[in-house]
Amino acid sequence: MSDVIDQIDRALVMVAGVVDGISGDQLGLPSLCAGWDVRAELNHLVGGMRIFAAELEGTDPGGRHEDDWLGGDPQAAFAAAAGLDRAAWHRPGVLEKEVRLGFGVLPGPMAALVHLTELLAHGADLAVATGQEELVDQDACRGLLAVMRGMDFSAFRRPGMFGPERLAPDGAEPHRELLAFLGRDLGATAQ
């Protein structure tokens, strides 16, 4: 399971590339997460990273998930959160501890998988919304989708988490298949 840390590192690099390419005028674009725009989804991602890192470090995250984590510089906010996140996941024994999340306590390996899912799903969402799909790590999305299809994912299909699986368009790239599996509506987005 220690390779999940390497996968988190890889996902952080991918998402950083997407975030760096988001212009100020794209922050108001709709995201694939119903009711959110690009800024709201990026804020959710950055807040989640800060909260995850604080939980792993045993510190106070400095805010609640719905607070404004981006301020006036979304790229700098993401970079700071990514640094904290990466350091927290590289702590010795991190996968041996239990991690308290908003929906319950999970063993370290499952919490790492949840976090990897957040990174890849929101990173792919942001890439689709801002026209940067070429930056998505297709191998990482394919691998995560295979893991999810091999487990009982029904506990995560509830309001505020993931919706019912949708059909991906024929010939869809792995990131689009992953997003459809997680309940994203890809019908309004271009391939």
Q: Out of 55-64, 77-86, 131-140, pick the least confident.
A: 55-64
d(CA 167, CA 161): 18
Radius of gyration of the chain (CA): 16
For position 1, what pLDDT does the model report? 44
Dihedral over Cα of 30, 65, 107, 12: its sign? positive
d(CA 182, CA 33): 11
- Return the axis-axis angle of helices 138-149 and 108-129, rounded to nearest 10°: 130
Residues ≥6 apart with Cβ < 8 Å to 129: 26, 29, 30, 31, 32, 38, 41, 189
pLDDT one-digit tens code per residue, 39-59? 999 999 999 999 999 999 989
For position 102, what pLDDT does the model report? 72
* Residue with more model confidence, 103 or 111: 111
d(CA 147, CA 32): 22
Q: Which domains does the chain have, with CATH numbers?
A: 3-181 (1.20.120.450)
d(CA 152, CA 51): 26
For position 148, what pLDDT does the model report? 87
Check whether 12 has a pLDDT greater than 60.
yes
For position 137, what pLDDT does the model report? 97
Tokens of 71: 């301020």
Q: What type of residue sits at position 179? A: L
pLDDT one-digit tens code per residue, 107-163? 889 899 989 999 999 999 999 999 999 999 999 999 999 998 887 777 666 655 677
pLDDT band at 65 (very low <50, low <70, confident <90, very high): confident
Q: How far is CA 148 from CA 32, 63, 95, 175, 185, in A?
A: 20, 30, 19, 13, 18
Q: What type of residue sits at position 127? A: A
